[in-house]
Amino acid sequence: MTIVDNVRTIPNQVLSQGNIFSEMILVASKLDFLLPITPIQQILLLLKFDWDTESLKNSLQEYADTNSFLLENGVCPENTVSVINNSECAICCSTENLLGLRCQHMACLNCWSKYLATKITSNQCLLRCMEFGCGMLISNEILGKFIFSSKLKVAHWGLLKDSYINSDSSLAWCNKKCGMAVRRSNCDTVTCSCGSKFCFLCNSDAHHPATCRQFQLWKEQRSNPDGMALSWILSNTRECPRCFVPIEKNGGCNHMKCTGCRHEYCWNCSQDWRTHFGGCKQPDINVAQTKLNSRANSDVFARYVSRFDHHKKCLEQEQQIRSSISNISGIKFRKTLDECRRTLMYTYVFGYYLKNGMYTSIFEKHQQNLEIAVGKLVSQWNVRHPGKIETQQIERRVWELVGNCSTLRKTLLDHCAKGAEHENLGGRQPNRELKRVVTPQATTNTVENVTPGTYDSVGFCIDIIFVIILIGVGYCLWSCIIF
């Protein structure tokens, strides 16, 4: 549960396609003093070593000369294509000019084009000679002599960039697929230049303060009301430590590689495989994280979903209204209200996966305070009447409410930061404690009606029966003592 509200948040960096390519060239240039090859060939070699320059340098030290190292890893320093005129192709048996790499495995241009097109369309960026068992690699410089489709060339460049982004744990593509990449700073919630704000770890829309695991379980439970699919996922899978995608292990060793983010880790202890030394340290696994609590009450979940949807609807309506606001006070109001609405949305996800107790009671009180403050802020903003005498007073009141909302939001998030030990992934259980009954509003121009301290009817009846029994027992004891 990563929360950094007490730490100064550093803005994340957004990389364009050109920025990404420049970084790739910069990384490749670090090999200039070791390998006398072109930058494209350096990128090809880094691609084979998963962009791990240290691993490449260590491997290079095992060879007497650089040429032997390059040829052993399928990179030809000359970077040429051999041509044989009017010869029979061993694949399609047609008589044409044959092309081949240094390995001298020859084929016609049509066969090369089809082979490479198949590889690229199947998302393989490391292209090799078509001869079975041959490890000679095909660089982008040579690729242009085998295929002429601009779409395939662009697609291959995209695969190269994908490999670079996936190899760097601090980089991720924008979740809205706008073509930009984002470098994380010290916060898991990042913002792209297109306006998308998303979670760096799971690539979903920003869901702070809910954790990635909580948000995934929330979505699963919403899509599977009976809970059967969710129960199977919790019992038979474990999430990737990097992207939190559920993974099932049906055999083999503990060395796992996520097909989504390509992170390599140990199945038992979830440690990065590159630093997995000295044996495996099996952690204590919380049973609540692997099994669904069968006692979860669907009514409780429905109530939390209702509040989540209410704030989501308010957020959408308010975004349409605020799109015309351009003055300074309006921009501040818009930013604060947007942050508070999003926070309230996902506190219902966070709150659903908490154990009943004192921590949760305090959390709900902070949540309630922020809801009331947001309702007052919206109401005060909507009663402004530009041009009248009281406008300045109302404007001052809006600024006070904006500051109050920001303070209450920070207080709520600070409390959420301490919630890891109070987590219950089985979901909230129904109890007879005091509950808050919140009446959803259809619009955003009124204060939200939050009525704390209301007993549910079943709990009230049980309490009455319990009191009557106690009175009866007391009367019997009193009678025995007197007589």
Residues 307 and 282 in one domain: no
Residues 324 and 442 in one domain: yes
Q: 232 pLDDT exceeds 80?
A: no
Task: Give domain status of residue 214, yes or no.
Answer: no
Which is it for strands 107-108 and 171-173: parallel, antiparallel or unpaired? unpaired
Task: Give domain status of residue 207, yes or no.
Answer: no
Residues 42 and 154 in one domain: yes
Q: Name residue 408's amino acid.
A: L
Task: Give domain status of residue 5, yes or no.
Answer: no
Task: Give domain status of residue 368, yes or no.
Answer: yes
Residues 248 and 121 in one domain: no
Helix boundaries (H) for 383-456: 391-416
Give the pLDDT band of residue 290 (cuts 50, 70, 90): very low
Of 289, 313, 337, the position where a domain reaches its end is 289
- In the DSSP assignment, the letter for residue 428 is P
User: Where is mean pLDDT largest: 235-239, 271-275, 324-328, 417-421?
Assistant: 417-421
Of 289, 309, 326, the position where a domain reaches its end is 289
User: Where is mean pLDDT largest: 25-34, 35-44, 409-418, 461-470?
Assistant: 409-418
Residues 317 and 417 in one domain: yes
Residues 325 and 439 in one domain: yes
The residue that leads in pLDDT, 3 or 121, is 121
Taking the C-alpha atoms of residue 261 and residue 169, their distance in angstroms, rounded to an integer, is 9
Task: Give domain status of residue 192, yes or no.
Answer: no
Give the pLDDT band of residue 266 (cuts 50, 70, 90): confident
Residues 164 and 132 in one domain: yes
Task: Give domain status of residue 186, yes or no.
Answer: no
Instruction: Please state the rounded mean pLDDT for residues 174-183.
Output: 91
Q: What is the phi/psi pair of residue 341, to 5°? A: -60, -45
Q: Which distant-in-sequence residues (6+ apart) come within 8 Å of 173 by Cβ?
A: 162, 165, 180, 181, 182, 203
Residues 245 and 346 in one domain: no
Q: What is the pLDDT of residues 396-431, one digit of tens each?
A: 888 888 999 999 999 999 999 998 889 988 777 665
Task: Give domain status of residue 220, yes or no.
Answer: no
Residues 284 and 371 in one domain: no
Residue 71 in tokens: 């040829």
Residues 153 and 262 in one domain: no
Give the number of domains in the chain: 3
Q: What is the pLDDT of residue 250?
A: 84
In the chain, % helix, strand, coil (3-state, to 5) comes to 50, 10, 40
Residue 266 belongs to domain spanning: 228-289
Instruction: Please state the rounded mean pLDDT for residues 329-355.
Output: 89
The verdict on pTM exceeding 0.75 is no
Residues 260 and 153 in one domain: no
Q: 175 pLDDT exceeds 50?
A: yes
Query: Among all residues, which ones are annotated catalytic?
Result: 253
Task: Give domain status of residue 217, yes or no.
Answer: no
Residues 312 and 234 in one domain: no
Of 266, 289, 312, the position where a domain reaches its end is 289
Q: What is the pLDDT of residues 61-114, one digit of tens each?
A: 888 888 888 888 888 877 678 899 989 999 999 999 999 988 889 999 999 999
Strand partners, 15: 181
